[in-house]
Amino acid sequence: MQPFHHWRTALSIAACLAFTAPAAAADIVVGVPSWPSAQVTANVIASVIKTDLGVETELVDRGTMGILSGMATGETHIHPEVWFPNHKQAVERFNAKSNSIRVSPQGVAATQNLCVTEATAQNTGITNVADLANPKIAAQFDTDGDGKGEMWIGDQGWSSTNIERVRARSYGYDKTMTLLVEKEEVAMAAVDVAVSLEQPIVFYCYSPHHVFDLHKIRKLAEPAHDPATWTIVAPAADSDWLAKSKAETAWDLSHFHIAYAALLDAEHPKVAGFLRRITLEPEDAAAMSYAVQVERKTPADAAAEWIAANRNRIEEWVR
């Protein structure tokens, strides 16, 4: 019996769901990363700045590094969701050169792990990240018949994707698993298909995220984070970054924040104050991702609904 190609099926589904939004010249450029909660938050920020503060905004699809680097040149002004510790080095590097980035003090607690569905855990016996280095366990995640398992580790351009490559090499499952880099909607569609057909699946997961509400998901166990076991070298810093990096234990406690160009403090102080006061909860981010990936709303529509439902909070932020 041929294994079910849930990753290939998911890619076909996602291709039908892609969308783009036009942008026009504006005073403030809000970067839009590729994951859903950030997309909705970017639309919320842009809409409130325009409607409540009277400043024209523009939404631009761009990866995190592009958004952060653009803050030094005035090309971009706002990043809706900068993850730490993922981008700690990048923010420090840019600020050492140009002091161009401000990070809001308001953060959202988050986690980053490898996950499986509950059925996967029961049917394969996997409980630990290190189990993926076992060829017999890894083979149970083989969907293309090559003898190696497949797992999603993130999207192109995510810093977490590079770190997951490091983790795979450190734990040894880079030799037993094929590491898939695809858009998040592809991965989530693959999870949906795997759940419906009771197929085993393992994937990079982060929270807050709707997948934990939609399905019964288990995080794989691993040793607690130990800074001594983590050395992350950025690809931009060294072409041999992977060989010189290691990540032998779990992710550190994570959190994400809005970041903005330092020049906004002087040029648009009301906007800067608004950005510093935005206080989102984990439930907000999970609901935003649910609206886009499950309810199939555009980020703009999801943002409009969120704004309508949270006017009291917004009034506090724009005061």
Q: Which is nearest to 67 in space by CA: 94, 86, 27?
A: 94
The alpha carbon of 147 is separated from its chain's Cα centroid by a whole number of angstroms, namely 29
What is the average per-residue pLDDT within 128-140?
Answer: 98
Residue 7 confidence (pLDDT) above 70:
no
**Mean pLDDT, the chain, integer:** 93
pLDDT in tens, 151-200: 999 999 999 999 999 999 999 999 999 999 999 999 999 999 999 999 99
Residue 79 β-bridge partners: 259
Q: Provide φ and ψ at 117, rounded to 5°.
A: -75, 160
Q: CA 281, CA 183: separation in Å to the nearest integer? A: 25
**DSSP states along 282-314:** HHHHHHHHHHHHTS---HHHHHHHHHHHTHHHH
CATH no., domain 111-247: 3.40.190.100
User: CA torsion sign, 36 to 126 to 220 to 160?
Assistant: negative
Tell me which H or E stretch contains 44.
helix 36-53
User: Which residue intervals of the chain bear CATH 3.40.190.100?
Assistant: 111-247
Q: Which is nearest to 14 in space by CA: 154, 190, 153, 143?
A: 190
Residue type at 71 in one-letter notation: M
pLDDT in tens, 92-101: 999 999 999 9
User: What fold does the segment set 28-109+255-318 form as a domain?
Assistant: D-Maltodextrin-Binding Protein; domain 2 (3.40.190)
Tell me the two tokens of residue 94.
């840019």
- CB-based contacts of 144: which residues, under 8 Å, 6+ apart? 3, 5, 150
**pLDDT for position 11:** 52
**Burial label, 139 (beta-carbon count in 10 A; 0-12, 13-18, 19+):** middle
The alpha carbon of 229 is separated from its chain's Cα centroid by a whole number of angstroms, namely 23
Q: Is the CB of residue 92 less than 8 Å from the CB of residue 84?
A: no
User: Which residue intervals of the chain bear CATH 3.40.190.10?
Assistant: 28-109+255-318
pLDDT in tens, 259-278: 999 999 999 999 999 999 99
Q: Are strands 254-261 and 246-247 parallel, antiparallel or unpaired?
A: unpaired
Lowest mean pLDDT among 1-10, 33-42, 106-115: 1-10
